[in-house]
Chain A
Amino acid sequence: AQSVSQHNHHVILSEAASLELGCNYSYGGTVNLFWYVQYPGQHLQLLLKYFSGDPLVKGIKGFEAEFIKSKFSFNLRKPSVQWSDTAEYFCAVLSSGGYNKLIFGAGTRLAVHP
């Protein structure tokens, strides 16, 4: 079965630090990949997605992710974080066997200190 692994469960950074959150998926075929974010007290919302084409994907709020097929990875990056980036981040892959079925990683909780 497909799976998604997020390496860090908790990350603590100071403002202006660079961010990289790891994500690895298990499926070797064509993949559709997503990063979702959940700010405190809010619902899950899409940060960015990769379907095909340029492996460097840019999302909202200055986030980007790079799809590296040879490493089965889709890491999320931001060059300079802000306090408002404090949230939980989920990587997800679209299941190859379902109808638009998302398989999520366990999430990474990011805390940014001023």
Chain B
Amino acid sequence: EAGVAQSPRYKIIEKRQSVAFWCNPISGHATLYWYQQILGQGPKLLIQFQNNGVVDDSQLPKDRFSAERLKGVDSTLKIQPAKLEDSAVYLCASSFRADRNTASEQYFGPGTRLTVT
């Protein structure tokens, strides 16, 4: 079974530039997550999709971050414009399904390491 795929693996940009990350979840997984992991911290959930709908984006900085999952499969996360503090690893994860009453194991991709200079 193929795992969660992410690209690119590394990206270096200057502040105020824009950047996009791509994620392809495990086939059949309805729920997709984007996490931000700043150096020295644990991953923090940015946004969660159930199929192509957003179920949690409470910690997404919506003035500069956006994400979509138009066909309920792969997803893109965009930052525009980037700031120095956006330097982090962006992790994508997927799970078979998720609802308020059921815990479902999340599978993580390799991440994209973003450096903003």
Contacts and interface: CB of A to CB of B under 8 A. Distances in A.
B50 A99 contact: yes
Nearest to B102: A100
A92 B42 contact: yes
B97 to A, nearest CB: 8
Given A43-B110, A45-B108, A49-B105, A106 B42 contact: yes
Nearest to B98: A100
A49 to B, nearest CB: 7
B108 A99 contact: no
Contact of A100 (B40, B43, B103): B103
For chain B, which range describes its interface: under 10, 10 to 19, 20 to 34, or 35 or more residues? 20 to 34
B105 to A, nearest CB: 6
Contacts of A99: 31, 48, 50, 55-56, 98-100
Nearest to A88: B42
A46 B105 contact: yes
Interface residues of A, number: 24
B25 interface: no
Contacts of A107: 40-42
In this complex, the member of B3, B31, B43, B44 whose beta carbon has the largest number of chain A beta carbons within 10 angstroms is B43
Contacts, number: 64
B106 A102 contact: yes
B42 A100 contact: no
Interface in A27-46: 32, 36, 42-46
A105 B42 CA distance: 5
Interface in B66-117: 91, 93, 95, 98-100, 102-106, 108-111
Interface of B: 3-4, 31, 40-45, 48, 50, 55-56, 91, 93, 95, 98-100, 102-106, 108-111
Interface of A: 4, 9, 32, 36, 42-46, 49, 51, 90, 92, 94, 98-107
A-B pairs, top 8 by smallest CB distance, nearest first, are: A104-B42, A100-B98, A44-B108, A32-B103, A43-B110, A99-B98, A99-B55, A43-B108
